[in-house]
Amino acid sequence: MKTLKVLRAVVIDDDSAVYRLIKRAVENHCPDISVVAKATGVVEGIRVINDYAPDLVFLDILMADGNGFDLIEHFYKPGFKVILISGFNEYALKGYKFNAIDYIMKPIREDELIRAINKAVEHIRDDNRAKLVHSGDESETIRNHHKIILRTLDQIHIINTSDILHIEADRNYSTLFLEEGRKLVVSRPIKEFEDALSDRGFHRIHKSHIININKVSFFNRPEGGTVVLKDGSIVPVASRKRDFLISLFNNL
């Protein structure tokens, strides 16, 4: 049975007690999700979202350098769900206009928080499944035939997943580097490939890079490190992924 990927969450709130409460609730009651980062303001929050590409954002509304709605509007098509947190109930209606999963009032009750998290996880899982079906039944193609169907402006490409060396992100575009020096650029975010290929030996080792673990020649470990692939490509490893990668190699 395939193990579902643990979803990533970030907390953007200038109250450290809120962060501790959310992190504790997630660790104790919500195994499908992990809090990977925090921020205390809008500008820092945008940077954290760009760095970690979370599935879920716990978002305070009023912060020193702006409000949570400013942050959401910064992203043209947010690739994350939002649970809004506030000490003021007058923002609730506006929050739902921004498609927030839930609106939690401070002081936060843990049981309400856990219910909101579980609801968010269900929405995210449903959306991920729907994206794969909508993009041409690629989930079935990958699972049954080890192939992936990719559409460019005027072509449909059928790619063997074993031919993919690594995938590199550039905003909402992804470049697939293939065997024999081939390259394919598609208008799909890297997160969709991470979700679709996670059970085929592909691992996201950096915010902008996914590698095929079967195509790795060696791993340079200092300072986070780099992975060298069989075609000579050099791919950076995020420092937070270093230990994961070492563990992965040890279990091959």
The DSSP secondary structure of 97-136, one letter per residue, reads: HTT-SEEEESSPPHHHHHHHHHHHHHHHHHHHHHHHHHTT
**Domain of 200: which CATH number?**
2.40.50.1020
Range of the domain at 97: 7-133
Closest to 83 (Cα-Cα) out of 10, 5, 166: 10
Quick check: 75 and 47 in contact, CB under 8 A?
A: no
- 63 shares its domain with 116: yes
Quick check: 51 and 39 in contact, CB under 8 A?
A: no
- 80 shares its domain with 152: no
Is residue 212 assigned to a domain? yes
Is residue 32 assigned to a domain? yes
CA pair distance 11, 49, nearest whole angstrom:
10
- 129 shares its domain with 196: no
- 149 shares its domain with 59: no
- 125 shares its domain with 161: no
Judged against a pLDDT cut of 50, whether residue 143 lies above it is answered with no
Quick check: 230 and 166 in contact, CB under 8 A?
A: no
- 27 shares its domain with 97: yes
- 52 shares its domain with 142: no
Residue in the structure block whose two tokens are 């024999």? 180
Q: What is the pTM of this model?
A: 0.57
Q: Domain count of the chain?
A: 2
Is residue 157 assigned to a domain? yes
Judged against a pLDDT cut of 80, whether residue 142 lies above it is answered with no
**Crossing angle of helices 16-29 and 110-134, rounded to 10°:** 70
pLDDT at residue 247 in the model? 78
Closest to 98 (Cα-Cα) out of 130, 123, 70: 70
Q: What are the structure tokens assigned to 186, written together?
A: 């598609």
Is residue 178 assigned to a domain? yes
pLDDT tens across 98-130, in order?
888 999 999 999 999 999 999 999 988 887 766
- Out of 133, 167, 193, pick the residue that ends a domain: 133
Residue in the structure block whose two tokens are 């575009």? 173
* Residue 52, SS3 per DSSP: helix
- 142 shares its domain with 99: no
Quick check: 205 and 238 in contact, CB under 8 A?
A: yes
Is residue 207 assigned to a domain? yes
Is residue 1 assigned to a domain? no
**Domain of 54: which CATH number?**
3.40.50.2300
- Out of 101, 133, 165, pick the residue that ends a domain: 133
- Out of 133, 152, 167, pick the residue that ends a domain: 133
pLDDT at residue 156 in the model? 84
pLDDT tens across 10-67, in order?
999 999 999 999 999 999 999 999 999 999 999 999 999 988 889 999 999 999 998 9
Is residue 2 assigned to a domain? no
Per the prediction, the chain carries an average pLDDT of: 85
- 159 shares its domain with 112: no
- 48 shares its domain with 89: yes
Is residue 69 assigned to a domain? yes
139 DSSP assignment: H
- 26 shares its domain with 87: yes
- 90 shares its domain with 203: no
CA pair distance 54, 101, nearest whole angstrom:
15
